[in-house]
Structure 1
C-alpha cells in the first residue's frame, strides 16, 4: 500500500530528525514538498511512531511544534556537505539553490 502525502512528509521529517548527518536529497525533497502549498501537513501519528521506534528522547512532535523542531534541526546542518551530496543527482544545476537554510526556513514559516 503506497504512502499518502502526509506520511511521505512525515517520513522525510523523520530522516531529517533521526540521522546525525543530513543527506542533501532529504533537504531537496523537503523543499519540494513545502514549496507546494497544496501539500498537506505531516502525518504526526506516523512521525511520532517512527521517532519512538528509533529512540527519540525529545517531546512528541505536534501540530504546534513540528515546524520549530525542523527549524532547530536546520540550524545544525553542514550545508556545504549537504549541497555537495545532492549536486551530482540534480537534473538542473540551478536546483542546488533549493538546498539553502534561509530558503527552507522561509518555506517552513510561511
Structure 2
C-alpha cells in the first residue's frame, strides 16, 4: 500500500462481491503500471531479486496496458531516481530500462517466481534480449 503517492494519478471505484459486497478505490491501470515500473527500475534489494516484478511486467505488456510516463517520472523524482530537467520521455525511459535489464540476474528472478507458477517453463525465455524486445511493444499515456 502506497501511503505517500506522488501527485498526478487517477483512481476508480471497483466493486467486489466476496467475502461480502464492498467497494475499493484503486489506481487506474496506467498508474498501477507506473508503480510497478518504478519498482523494476528503482527498487534495490541488493542480492534478493524480485522476479515477481518482472512477471507482472510481462502481464501488463501481454494485456496491452499503457504505462503513464508522467506518473512514473513523479514516482522516480519522489524517490530520488530522476532529476532530469526535461520530462521523462519514451527515449529516456528506454535507456533507463535497458540499463536495468543489463544489470539483472534473470536466473535469480526466475527462482523467485517458480514456486508460484503452474507452468515453470513459462519463464525459461526470460533474459536481457526477451525483456528488451517486449518493452518495444509498450503503449504509453
What band does the TM-score fall into relative to the shorter chain? 0.7 to 0.9
Residue 104 of structure 1 is matched in structure 2 by: 131
- Relative contact order, higher structure (CA 8 A, sep 6+): 1
Q: Which runs of 5+ in 2 are unaligned?
A: 1-24
Q: How many residues align?
A: 108
Could you say which structure has the larger radius of gyration? 2
What is the SS of the residue equivalent to 1:64?
A: helix
**1:101, CA displacement in angstroms?**
2.1
TM-score relative to the length of structure 1: 0.82
| Residues 33-48 of structure 1: pairs in structure 2 closer than 5 A | 33-36=60-63, 38-40=64-66, 42-48=67-73
Distance in 1 separating the partners of 2:82 and 2:73: 11
More helix by share: 1
Q: Tell me how large the CA RMSD over aligned residues is.
A: 1.9
Distance in 1 separating the partners of 2:134 and 2:95: 12
Q: Which runs of 5+ in 1 are unaligned?
A: none
Residue 75 of structure 2 is matched in structure 1 by: 50
More strand by share: 2
